[in-house]
Structure 1
Amino acid sequence: MAPKRGDSVAPPPGRDEFEIKYATKEAVEGWRELGKQAPGNTRAAWHETRTSPAPVPPTERHHQLKSDLATAVHNGRELPQWQIEVTGGGRVWYLYDKEKRVCWLKLARTGHPRQTDK
């Protein structure tokens, strides 16, 4: 059965890891495409999200988004929105829920998201 919105990004989290779940149908499809295009980098992004979803200090390739993209609402809660640059154009955006130890994969794209071109 193909994954859908709300499903976990397999495999289940290990001890002291964050669970990753799909927040949107588009993230399911985008994650699949990103994995085909750049499997090693996609695996590294998955690992970073699992083990260090909010690195201190943030890096140029892994940081919280800025301005009106810095947070987003999911299931009625406003959460910080983070980005990992997977490839030169490919990006992963997720909502970081520290309290529930879940990262909601909101966007996965092989091309650069236009929303950040402000």
Structure 2
Amino acid sequence: MSAGRGDRAAPPAPEGQWEVRFADAAAAKGWECLARQARENTYRAWIVMRTQPCPATETPRHHRLKGRLAHGTHRGQVCQQWQIEVTGGGRVWYLLDSDHGTCWITFAGTGHPCATDG
């Protein structure tokens, strides 16, 4: 879907920073819901993805997912999958596409993702 009237114009990543893009429409919709609930924290998550998407020291709020969730595929490329805890329940999951310098948001939402249950 191309941008249209009223759509946000996200700036391109400056030299040395990562592009942040949505892997699908559901991730984009979830991002908007998360931004409405926790605007400042969502913005901080975006900044982290732009500047330090795979920190040398992981924290409980920003870490690589484990087990079957540790990797995901986007456009045929297998990538590491990371999580940022934006609120107590709100999460952002993204694939780290190192070859293209892009973080692909695969999930964003105000509730804990069901994929980690069970």
Compute the TM-score of the two structures, normalised by the length of structure 2.
0.91
Question: How far does residue 14 in structure 1 lie from its aligned partner after superposition?
Answer: 1.6
Q: Which amino acid aligns with 2:40?
A: G
Where does the alignment leave 5 or more consecutive residues of structure 2 unmatched?
Answer: none
Distance in 1, matches of 2:94 and 2:53, equals: 9
Q: Which residue of 2 aligns with 1:6?
A: none
Q: Which residue of 2 aligns with 1:107?
A: 107
Question: How far does residue 110 in structure 1 lie from its aligned partner after superposition?
Answer: 0.6
Higher gyration radius (CA): 2
Where does the alignment leave 5 or more consecutive residues of structure 1 unmatched?
Answer: 4-8
Q: Which residue of 2 aligns with 1:46?
A: 46
Question: How far does residue 11 in structure 1 lie from its aligned partner after superposition?
Answer: 2.3
Question: How far does residue 30 in structure 1 lie from its aligned partner after superposition?
Answer: 0.5
Distance in 1, matches of 2:67 and 2:95, equals: 15
Q: Which residue of 2 aligns with 1:24?
A: 24
The 5 Å alignment of 1:9-88 reads 10-88=10-88
Compute the TM-score of the two structures, normalised by the length of structure 1.
0.91
DSSP-derived class of the 1:27 partner = helix
- Cα deviations by residue, 1:1-54 (Å, 9 ceiling, x for unpaired): 276xxxxx8222122100011101101101111111000000000000000000
CA RMSD in angstroms comes to 1.6
DSSP-derived class of the 1:14 partner = coil
Identity %: 48
Q: How many residues align?
A: 114
